[in-house]
Structure 1
Amino acid sequence: MNQTMLSRRKALKQIAAGCLAMSMPKLLLSQTNQILKRVVPSTGEKIGVVGLGTWQTFDVGTNSSAREPLKAVLKVLVEGGGSVVDSSPMYGSSEMVVGDLSEELGIKKDLFYATKVWTSGEQSGIDQMNASMQKMKANTMDLMQIHNLQDWKTHLKTLYDWKEKGLVRYIGITHYVDHAHDDLERIIKSEQIDFVQVNYSIKDRNAERSLLPTAKERGVAVLTNRPYSGGSLFRKVNGKSLPSWVSEFDCQSWGQFFLKYLLANDAVTCVIPGTSKAHHMSDNLGAGLGRLPNKSHQKKMLELLS
């Protein structure tokens, strides 16, 4: 059977078990087959269009057996040309796990660390950000974001100062619900923001209305969270085969189908789906390879899921 006709689960079945071994990722993504990179507008730096979210998936504490598969995930990410790893103090032990494993693998220099401040008050924010940097073993944080806009005016003053001192390279703001999009848009219009992180999926497209065009116009990089709508997209296509026309934009799984729709919007800098499985990381990276859907494809994609 043609691989484009298989579901995400079936398409990955044959390689799933082997991906847990540390030697396997090289077979899945050749280092000569690197994913597309897009520019961070405020500096011109290029980052891979597929990254990694760590909510729930990396919250494993010091459990060595649970950490082992996560090493493979990080290794696949880097070997495929990805770099962005997004975390938060809200995500339990995820920051610490990312820091420990990236150091063990010797890939810290290959990663683009992104985390968040999620508290109220100036000193509380400073203390939390310092703790995050220690956990992730970062002397300079690539991207520090204000999580869900909590006390954003206070933290933004601190981050402006930290950026000037070289403690952070980029400043960002985040949210995960549609009703916050207007606030995000107002802030990127009025403040010096490098990144905005927003919920966006083929099912949840409110960001397309105004926020993404504004981010593009203002030169703000975009990270997208909840690209699979909390997993509901996979449930929607369960048991269904991919249509043959997805080969026109080099799509080989439903996961890539959902991510390629987002990446077809050139306002999107990087998608950050979370996973604890190396074979899913490899599949996600495939969304950044080859062609992307054109307008005609995007219309058919929406019709297919309507």
Structure 2
Amino acid sequence: MQYRKLGKTGFSISEISLGTWQVGGKWGEPFSHDNADRILNEAADAGINFIDTADVYGDGESEKAVGRLVRSRSERIYVATKCGRRLQPHVNDAYQPAVLRAFVEDSLRSMGLETLDLIQLHCPPTDVFYRPEIFEEFDRLKAEGKIQNLGVSVEKVEEGLKAIEYPNVTTVQIIFNMFRQRPAELFFGEAQRRDVGIIVRVPLASGLLTGKFDRNTTFAKEDHRNFNREGDAFDKGETFSGVDYETGLAAVEELRSVFPDDKNLAPDALRWILTFDAVSCIIPGASKPEHLRSNLQAAQRPAPSSEQMAAVKRIYDERIKNPVHYLW
């Protein structure tokens, strides 16, 4: 495992880390703590030392599993969680300092920890990024020892650019993959200039970039890849990175010719992301240990050649860029 610095947090974290949206079961399935424990411990055994979770994952069960892992291991494992999505309705006015403080305290209790290595605002409405009082509350929480660092998870590049204007924002979590390339144009450079860590989520475009889906693939009723393709439940860009499913399948077929020796495209798609120096880590998810092992193969993949990098860019420009590029 290779490690990178997570911006001004100073943490040295595994470049392949773990996201826990679906740890413990696939989307819509009951949470299994036995399954979560297997995945989390295998990740730690492989050298993964950065785990990303959220208070809404598995209705809070994911946080419990992550806390249990941290308390049971001797290695230093960094924990990042998120707050804000429990707000109903999830609107700007609902974001209030006292409410966010309560969420932080709830996460500490849920995980059985005394402090959070990283707390992240969980894709708040854009207007929240223009309210200094929200960000100031986390300075007080840090002074009290309840958090070590503040980060944000964003939907749009513009939100990331606004967030890093606040000196106490140490990390930005953002969607970046072969089908979502805009962050590399301006945002990556600005984040590096301010020593802000970049955590890449949805690195496989909700599984599209594994190459395992086809036109006959079906998804469970409660799986967002079934019900959120048009953004009916939350931001459309979270599902298949906002790419039309049929369009994505066609682009994947072309990518197969770029990486012809690999039946499983996931490690190549992850390795492509790691060629960008601004990236601190990627957080692919896993609903079973086999998914984790597939993700870890990226560490053994050689870096894409200049010809492969150019081919990925061409496929994006020709098949994906319009209209996806300008929406997020």
Query: Is TM > 0.5 for Structure 1 vs Structure 2?
Result: yes
Contact 2:25–2:35 under 8 Å retained in 1: no
Contact 1:76–1:278 under 8 Å retained in 2: yes
How far does residue 238 in structure 1 lie from its aligned partner after superposition?
Answer: 7.4
1:129 paired to 2:104: yes
Q: Choose from 67, 74, 82 the match for 1:99.
A: 67
Match of 1:42 in 2: 8
Match of 2:325 in 1: none
1:216 paired to 2:227: no
Q: Choose from 215, 228, 234 the match for 2:204.
A: 228
SS in 1 for 2:177: coil
Q: Which runs of 5+ in 2 are unaligned?
A: 88-94, 214-248, 320-328
Asked which structure has the greater RCO (Cα within 8 Å, sep 6+), the reply is 1
SS in 1 for 2:152: strand
Percent sequence identity over matched residues? 21
Structure 2 CA distance for partners of 1:264 and 1:101, relative to 1, 3 Å: same
1:170 paired to 2:145: no
Match of 2:276 in 1: 265
Match of 1:280 in 2: 291
Distance (whole Å) between structure 2 residues aligned to residue 303 and residue 195 of structure 1: 30
The aligned runs of 1:85-96 (5 Å cut-off) are: 85-91=51-57, 92-93=59-60, 94-96=62-64
Contact 1:49–1:271 under 8 Å retained in 2: yes
Which stretch shifts more, 139-148 or 93-102? 93-102
- Letter paired with 2:152: I
Scaled by the length of structure 2, the TM-score of the pair is 0.71
- Letter paired with 1:160: D
The count of residues paired between Structure 1 and Structure 2 equals 262
1:75 paired to 2:41: yes
Distance (whole Å) between structure 2 residues aligned to residue 190 and residue 122 of structure 1: 16
Match of 2:159 in 1: 183
RMSD of equivalent CA atoms: 2.9
Contact 2:23–2:35 under 8 Å retained in 1: no
Structure 2 CA distance for partners of 1:147 and 1:300, relative to 1, 3 Å: same
Distance (whole Å) between structure 1 residues aligned to residue 42 and residue 49 of structure 2: 10
SS in 2 for 1:172: strand
Contact 1:36–1:289 under 8 Å retained in 2: no
Q: Which runs of 5+ in 1 are unaligned?
A: 1-34
Structure 2 CA distance for partners of 1:121 and 1:289, relative to 1, 3 Å: same
Contact 2:268–2:301 under 8 Å retained in 1: no
